[in-house]
Structure 1
């Protein structure tokens, strides 16, 4: 089995057709077709089945792709590591971060990372843990930073807590309920339900409100977008529940404010990665910068608590 064959299989799986894969790779379609046939012959199984608009993966193909992605990621990582050990400050790091963790950690960590590795490529995707779990297992993502329930940690991942977190009720500035003194004062409010929370994060929206006696909240809008959430809450009377980091940025703090009620429980912000997948030097450095930024943020939270 050749690495070029793995490359071709992955391209076909990504683009959904042999012709599109050929265009993507700059290779003639017959060469792609031959490559697929050879690898299927070696495996003794079909990886793709044809349909009207191209091809789709078979069940065996889906399993094979997961392994092929891991191989490709490891090859890329191996090349990067050799170059970095030879003194070349280049390579690629791919990470996933929740919106809240990126607000509190990314600016400081990125500044230091760019100083040390100005020619490196950093790929950052915004996500909770659930949608990127497979990418972490396959090696396509080096590590994840965001809310994670440490009680669910198994052998598949190494989890390091950076700091404890909390969530609060958020409203636009000047909201008529800004001076509410209890959750019962919010009984008639309308709510925006933020992004559906994945497992291993901070729990269900309605359940969180119910813990303070506010059952059956009037949810009139649901959003999976951080930008839409901000626009709606800042320009309407809808309330929502968000991590405290949304109040740390001047650009968002100028538009929204917390309603000063008891905070909600939240999963801690953690770094999560595979235990059997050593990071390249530049990925390890970025991880260290995130860890340092997390330490500074935790110190700031402690100072705020003491001053309150």
Structure 2
């Protein structure tokens, strides 16, 4: 028997699910057929790859050796198929650019600038709270590029095959609070000012809850925490129910204030990732300009940048000049 990619895919499915039944369902085949196929693979390799236990299937020592070689091959084959399909689609339909991103105020301006520079290119955008999920999609060829943030102290699983460019090594995270909150009268808020408040955090955002918990613990705080999405958080912040971390490019409203935290206890790294340097070159300049354009429209961030002596935002939207505060 000669091993094929489908056999390696079957082994990976069994290892990932820990069950012949679940693996068969994932592969779209019957369990008896998968069991027979596994026996043939084991016979061909000359040893047992999985031990069958009451709790499921576990790789044997030989199985772990085989899986260590099989997984990269399966991943590469998936990427090859995805990239081939994408190339065929681009040939048939014209150039395409598939962008993935975590939440960012820079996205609208980025897309606008890309459309102006790449007329005739069909663009798609996929938003996801999970930076790791987006990076995997770039690795497998389902996306061309991903703009993600990496929470300080919670490194992302960046695939080795991807190229990356850091847009900002450390973007400080601000706090949003009700406009009538006592701390909203201050230009900079201390965590101790929020000791009695309930915080809201989205635990599905990679690293977000771990980062906030670490910062609160370091400040000696153990506040009440509500888990939920940030769209809901904005409404609850405005009514004074919660306070929440937010990006510095966020803009305040009549019912909500955005303020920097004293000492900037938490930051994120902004990363652009793609499979090639050429793909990064094609979109990075527009992203950089769009980010600083969004920064100039956020008064609290403008003031923070001026205080910190950071002059990367300019009136013209390109780095390297003098940041001018946005009109309030």
Aligned pair in 2 of structure 1 residues 28, 241: CA closer, same or farther (>3 Å)? closer
Q: Aligned partners of 2:53 and 2:98: how far apart in 1? A: 36
Match of 2:193 among 180, 186, 193: 186
Decide which structure has the larger Cα Rg and report it: 2
Q: Aligned partners of 1:297 and 1:170: how far apart in 2? A: 20
Asked if 1:296 corresponds to 2:313, the answer is no
Could you tell me which residue of structure 2 aligns to residue 31 of structure 1?
33
Instruction: Give CA-to-partner distance per residue, 1:155-199, whole Å, 9 cap, x none.
Output: 945331234633212103433432135545716442416357867
Contact 2:49/2:60 (<8 A) preserved: yes
Contact 2:249/2:294 (<8 A) preserved: no
| Displacement of 1:306 | 0.9
Asked if 1:238 corresponds to 2:242, the answer is yes
Question: Aligned pairs, how many?
Answer: 286
Could you list the runs of 5+ residues in structure 2 that have no partner in the other structure? 296-312, 316-322
Aligned pair in 2 of structure 1 residues 92, 298: CA closer, same or farther (>3 Å)? closer
Higher relative contact order (CA 8 A, sep 6+): 1
Could you list the runs of 5+ residues in structure 1 that have no partner in the other structure? none
Contact 1:193/1:205 (<8 A) preserved: no
SS at match of 1:4: helix
SS at match of 1:165: strand
Single out whichever of 138-147 and 214-223 deviates more from structure 2: 138-147
Contact 2:149/2:269 (<8 A) preserved: yes
Contact 1:80/1:91 (<8 A) preserved: no
Alignment of 1:30-179 (within 5 A): 30-44=32-46, 46-52=48-54, 54-56=56-58, 60=64, 63=68, 66-84=71-89, 86-89=91-94, 95=100, 97-99=101-103, 101=104, 103-105=105-107, 108-109=110-111, 112=115, 116-117=121-122, 124-128=127-131, 135=136, 139=140, 144-148=146-150, 156=160, 158-163=163-168, 165-179=171-185
Could you tell me which residue of structure 1 aligns to residue 303 of structure 2?
none
Q: Aligned partners of 1:114 and 1:21: how far apart in 2? A: 45
Q: Aligned partners of 1:85 and 1:240: how far apart in 2? A: 42
| Displacement of 1:227 | 4.4
- RMSD after superposition: 4.9
SS at match of 2:183: coil
SS at match of 1:247: coil
Give the TM-score, by structure 1 length.
0.65
